[in-house]
Amino acid sequence: MIAREAPPWRGPARVAHPTDEGDTASVTETAYACLERDFARIAVLEDAAGILGWDARTTMPLGSADGRAEQLAALRGLVHETVTAERLAERLDAAEAERETLDPWQVANLREMRRTRIHAAAVPRDLVIARAKATARAEIVWREARRTSDFALLRPHLEEVLGLQRAIGQAKGAALGIPAYDALLDQYDPGLRQSRVDALFGPLRRILPDLIAQAQERQGRSAPPRPIEGAFPVEAQRALAETLMRAAGFDFTRGRLDVSLHPFCGGATGDVRITTRYDGTDFTRALMGVLHETGHALYEQGRPAAWQRQPVGRARGMTLHESQSLLIEMQACRSREFLGFLSPLIGRQFGREDPAWSPENLFRLYTRVAPGPIRVDADEVTYPAHILLRYDLERAMIAGDLAVADLPGAFKAGMKALLGLTVTDDADGCLQDIHWPSGGWGYFPTYTLGAVTAAQLFAAACEADAEIRPGLARGDFAPLVGWLRAHVHAAGSSRETDEIVTAATGRPADLDAFLAHLRRRYLGADA
Amino acid sequence: MIAREAPPWRGPARVAHPTDEGDTASVTETAYACLERDFARIAVLEDAAGILGWDARTTMPLGSADGRAEQLAALRGLVHETVTAERLAERLDAAEAERETLDPWQVANLREMRRTRIHAAAVPRDLVIARAKATARAEIVWREARRTSDFALLRPHLEEVLGLQRAIGQAKGAALGIPAYDALLDQYDPGLRQSRVDALFGPLRRILPDLIAQAQERQGRSAPPRPIEGAFPVEAQRALAETLMRAAGFDFTRGRLDVSLHPFCGGATGDVRITTRYDGTDFTRALMGVLHETGHALYEQGRPAAWQRQPVGRARGMTLHESQSLLIEMQACRSREFLGFLSPLIGRQFGREDPAWSPENLFRLYTRVAPGPIRVDADEVTYPAHILLRYDLERAMIAGDLAVADLPGAFKAGMKALLGLTVTDDADGCLQDIHWPSGGWGYFPTYTLGAVTAAQLFAAACEADAEIRPGLARGDFAPLVGWLRAHVHAAGSSRETDEIVTAATGRPADLDAFLAHLRRRYLGADA
C-alpha cells in the first residue's frame, strides 16, 4: 500500500521513504568512507534477512514458505549486487591509495571488505543461481530421504550439489590462489587451510581411540548415573534457562530465547536470538543446549561496538564461533564448579529435590562417554570421531576420489573403524546431517577446531584470572566473560583466527589443552 | 557474514546470492512486463518490511528499536528509489502505447502503478526525509505528553508535523490536480474527496444526536446488563478466539494470531498476522477485537490470487478495509444470530455457565450505548461523533483556520457539542490518538465511511443470500464470506471504491443502510 501510507495504528508502515543517506558520494568524501557506507548498507540488509530467517524457523506459518523465500532471495540479491558492483571494486582500489591515512582498524576493515568481495565476485552468476536452486531442492528431498532412510532418493541431488560445490571451490580457489577445498574452508573460517586442519586432526586421529576406550573403561568401574525421571514443565525449564542466560551475561534488551525444531543462534546486529527445544520429561539437554547457544550469542553481543555494521566488526569465523559456544557449554558449564551452582537451582525451579540432580550425578550425566551413531547426540570425547569421518569423506568427494554412490558404504566403514559401531540404516549414517545437501562443504572441521580452541582459551583464561573457576561455582560468569570479551569478542575480525588465539593464549591452537582437558575430566583428577 | 555462508544448521543464511530475475530487460519484453517485474520486486520488499514491522510490535527486544528502524528505512528507501526512478516513468509512458494489447486487469494495474508513482514522486526528497524525522520524534514525545496530559510538550512537534503535512498535501495535490486535503484523503483511499465525505457526514451530523439520545433513553428503561466477572485464563481466551477465526474462514496456514499492546492486522502477502491484547478479567473486548481484525485479515487473504504482488491486487483502500473489519465485527458478530451461537461456546471454553454470557446479556453488553471521551472505547452509535470532530479539526488545521495552540480548546468544545461531554484532561481529549503526531492526516474519515459501507454491504449480502443470517446463527460464515470474496475481496484494486460498492449493492455508499441498521438494533425490532 505504497500510496496509502498505512500508519502505526493500522499495521506496518508501507510508505516509500528514501533513506537519509544519499547514494552518490560528495566529491570531498574518501573512497574508504564510501566503502564504509556501502558495507553498512549491506549489513542492514543482512540484518533484515537475519530477522526474516529467524521468523521462518520459529514463527512463520508453513504456507508462507514460498513468499519468505522470495523475500530472502530479494535481500540476498541486493547484497550480492552491491558487493559485486564495479563501483565497489573501483572504490576498493582507490582506498588502497588512501592507506596511509587509515588507522589499523580501518586497514583491517579494508582487508575484510576485499575478502568479502573476492568470495562474492569469484563465482559466476549462473553458478550461484544453480547452487541456490540445487540446494533448495536437495534440502527438501533430504528430509524425506532421512525419514525413510532412502539414500537412493537423495543421491542424484547430492551429486548435483557436489558438482556445484566443486565448481564453486575451484572458482573461489582460482580467485584466492588456493586449492578448491581450501577455498571452501575459507568461506567459513577465513584463512583456514587443509594443511592446518591436518596438523591438528592427524595426531587426534591417532590418540582418540585409546582415549575413548580408557574413558569407557574407567566409567565402567562404577554404576551408571541415575536417570532423570518425572515431568518438567516447559515454562519452568524456560525460566531456568533464562536465569542461566542472565547469569552468563546475555543481554535480554538486545536478544531473545525462543523455541525451534533445531536450536540455533540468529537474528541481527543488536538483536541476537537463540532457540532451543524442550523435552517435558528431561530438562538436561535443553539446558545445556541453551548454554551452548548462549556462548554463540555472547560472541555476537560482544562484537566491537564501534564496528558493528562493518566487516571488521564481524565475528572472526566459525572456528572461533564454535569455540565460544563450546567454551561456555563444555568447559564452563559441564565443570564441577558450575554444576555445583546449578544443582540447587534445578531443585528450586522444579519445586522438589532428587538425587538425580545432585552435583555429582549431574556431572556424571553431563560427562557420560557413550559411542553412538548420531553426531548431534555425541559426547565431548567421541564427537571428534564424527568430525574426522566427515572431514575425510567430504575432501575425498570434492577431490573426486569418492563417488556419491559409494558414500553410504564409506560412511559405515568409517564409523566401524573410528567408533567400532555397526550402522545398518543410512538415516543413522550418511543421511543424518543437512550440511552436505544444503551445500555446507568445508564446515564440519570447525566444530572440532572450535572444541580444541575452546580448551586452550579456557585454560589461558583460568590461568590469567584465578577468580574464573570460583566465579562459576557461584554462578558468576563476569570474570570469564570479561576475559572473553577482552581477548576474543572485542577483536572482531581485526585479526586472523590464529593471531587472536596467539594473542590470548601465547600460541596458535594446538591439541595440548584439549587433550589435557579430556584426560583430566575423563581419566584423571576430575573423573 | 557474507563470505562465510552460514548454513541452515547454524543460523539464517547470509549468503550473497543474486535473484533469479535479471535486472535488465531483454529486448523482446514489453514495457508493461517490465513494470510488472518492477512492482513485484517492490511488493516483495514491502512484504519483508511487513514482517519486520510485525516483529517490532510483537516480539522485538526494546533495545533493538534503532537497528530495526534502520532496516525498515533501508527497505523503504529501496522501494522509493524503484518507484521514483526515471526508468519506471519511461516504462509507464511506453506501456501506455501498448494499451491495446492489455486486458482490463492489466489496464487497471497500469493505472494503479501510475497512481503509486504520482504519490511517491510528488513529494520532494527533502520533505519526505523531514516528515520521517519529525513524525518519529513527535510519536515519542506524544507518548510522554499523553502519559502526563501535557499538551504543551507535544505542541511544537505537532506544529512541525502539521506544516509538513500541509506541504505534502499541497505537493501531492499539485500532482493530482486536487486540493491539499483531498490529496491527503487520497493517500488512504484512492479517489476519496472532501465533497464525498461532506455529502455523507453532513446528514449524519444532523441525525446522530437524536439517535444517541433515543438509544440511551430506550436503554434506560431496563436494568443495565450483568457485568462479566471472574477469571478468564489467557490460554482459554486465545483458544476461543482461534476457534472463531477458523469459523470465519481465517487460513492459519497463511497467517497467525499473536499479542501486541495495540491490536493490528499486518504481516505480508500470504502471511497475514493479526494481534490482540487479553484482559484476564474480561474476555469480551479481546474477543470482539479479534473478530474485527479477522475482518481485515479476510480481506487480505481474499485478494485476487493472480495479482497478489501487483498494485491492482491490493486492497482498494482504507474505507473498504474498515468496512470489512466492521462488517465482521459490528454487522455479523454483534448480531443476535451470532451471539446465540457464541454463548454456549463461551461456557464450554471457560468450563462454567453464567447468566452474564447468556445470548441476551451478551447482546446487551455488546450493544451498550454510552457516550465517553475515548474514541477506541466508543460504541457503534457514538463512534461517528468522534470521527466528525476529528474530521472538522484536521481540515481546519490543514487549511490554516485552526492553530495547533487552539486545538485543546476546540477539541473540548467539540466533545461538548457532539456528545455533551466535559473533557478536563487533554489525555482524554486531543492527546488520545497517535494519528496526528505520526502524520496520519486524512485517515480518520475512513473509520466512519467504513462503518457506513459495512452496513450497506451486509444488507445487500443478506438480501442476495437468505442463508447468511441463519449461517451466522450456527457459526457458519461461509455464505457471508463467500459473498464478500466475490463482491469485494476478489476485486482487489481493479475498480474504484464507489464502483465496487455499486456493483455489490446497486449504488454508491449512502447513509440509508447504516441508519436503518442503527435504528433497528438500538431503537427498533432488535433492541
- Which chain B residues contact residue A44 at CB under 8 A? 67, 70-71, 74
**A129:B18 CB<8 A:** yes
Which of A:40-69 have CB within 8 Å of B? Answer: 41-42, 44-55, 59-64, 66-68
Shortest distance between the Cα of A451 and any Cα of chain B, in A, equals 16
Which candidate, B70, B321, B367, places its Cα nearest to that of A308?
B70
pLDDT of res. A119 = 96
Residue A231's φ and ψ, nearest 5 degrees, are: -110, 140
**CB-count burial class (<10 Å; 0-12, 13-18, 19+) for A223:** exposed
CB-based contacts of A473, cutoff 8 Å, min separation 6: A337, A338, A340, A341
pLDDT of residue B136: 87
- Taking alpha carbons only, the member of A299, A358, A351 closest to residue A325 is A299
CA A59, B256, B72 angle in degrees (round to 5)? Answer: 65
Q: 3-class SS at B330?
A: helix
List, in sequence order, every residue forming a beta bridge with B26; answer none if it has no partner: none
- Nearest-CA distance from B219 to chain A in Å? 32
Yes or no, beta carbons of A129 and B78 under 8 Å apart: no
Note if B293 is an active site residue.
yes
**Would the CB atoms of B270 and A129 count as touching at under 8 Å?**
no
Q: Which of A393, A392, A375, A394 is nearest to A384 (CA)?
A: A375
Residue of A5, A61, A315 lying closest to B254 (CB–CB): A61
pLDDT at A1: 31
Contacts of B384 (CB under 8 A, 6+ apart): B204, B208, B448, B451
Segments of chain B scoring below 50 in pLDDT: 1-6, 11-26
Q: How far is CA B293 from CA B250, B263, B300, in A?
A: 10, 8, 11
In angstroms, what separates the C-alpha of A523 from chain B's closest C-alpha? Answer: 32
Contact A511, A200 (CB under 8 A): yes
What lies within 8 Å, CB to CB, of A66 at 6+ separation is: B270
Q: Do B74 and A254 touch (CB under 8 A)?
A: no
Residues of B in contact with A187 (CB under 8 A): 3-5
For B255, which of A19, A55, A61 is closest by C-beta distance?
Answer: A61
What is the structure's pLDDT at B232? 97
Option in B41, B60, B252 nearest A271 (CB): B60
Distance of CA A158 to the CA centre of its chain: 23
Question: Chain A neighbours among B 70-89 (CB < 8 Å)?
Answer: 70-81, 83-84
Looking at CA atoms only, how far is residue A131 from chain B in angstroms? Answer: 9
Q: Which run of H or E residues covers position B148?
A: helix B125-148
Q: Is B86 exposed, middle or buried (0-12, 13-18, 19+ CB in 10 A)?
A: exposed
For chain A, residues with pLDDT lower than 50 are: 1-6, 11-26
Strands B271-276, B255-259: parallel, antiparallel or unpaired by DSSP? parallel
Q: What is the ipTM of this complex?
A: 0.91
